[in-house]
Structures are given as structure tokens and as C-alpha cells.
Amino acid sequence: NAGVTQTPKFQVLKTGQSMTLQCAQDMNHNSMYWYRQDPGMGLRLIYYSASEGTTDKGEVPNGYNVSRLNKREFSLRLESAAPSQTSVYFCASSVSGRGYGYTFGSGTRLTVV
């Protein structure tokens, strides 16, 4: 059982380049999330999808877009990367409701130069 699979694990981008972070879960979870983690700060929510077919902004959505492709997959796109987007990105999923089964991917370390 793979849980939450994130790709890639590492990425270096030049300012202005675009890329998509992929996330897939095999636990039949309804809800999926993208968080970023920066030094000295707690994880912050970028976007989330409470259920298939819906997406909503989180705390720090600027510069990002998401697609809930199907129940399994939730991708995060940076259209024009900026150095401020250098961070570690985590995808997560949970059963809807209180958050039973909250499971995180292994993270993507992104550096924008």
C-alpha cells in the first residue's frame, strides 16, 4: 500500500519557469491538500480539495494553481516560479470529516534560483 506518492522529490527551477508537482493517493480518501513548509514556520495550506470536483484556496495560494484530476490525483502547478516559492511541498490526503487517516507524501524540495 503506497499511501500518498509525490513526484518529484527534488527540483531546481530558474525564475520564471513552470512546473507541476504530482500527487496520487491509493487510500480512497475524499480530501487532498497541498502544504508548504518553510524554516521557522509551521506548514501552511496552499490549496485543498475537500472532495473530487472541488478545489479551494488555502492560506497562501498566490502563484499556484491546482487540479483535482480524479479522486486519486491532485496536482500543484507553478506557472512562473519565483525565489519566494523555494520551499518543501507536501501533499496530504484524509477521509472527509475530522481528518481520519491523515497521510502525507514524502515531500518535494523545490529550489527556485
Distances 24 to 39, 42, 67, 108, 112 between C-alpha atoms, Å: 26, 23, 12, 13, 24
Binding mask 4-43 for another protein (x = CB under 8 A): --------------------------xx-x-x----xxxx
Question: Is residue 51 near another protein by the rule CB under 8 A?
Answer: yes
Residue 80 burial by CB count (10 A; 0-12/13-18/19+): exposed, middle or buried?
exposed
Question: Is residue 45 near another protein by the rule CB under 8 A?
Answer: yes
Contact positions vs another protein (CB under 8 A): 30-31, 33, 35, 40-45, 48-51, 58, 88, 90, 92, 94, 96-100, 102-104, 106-107, 109
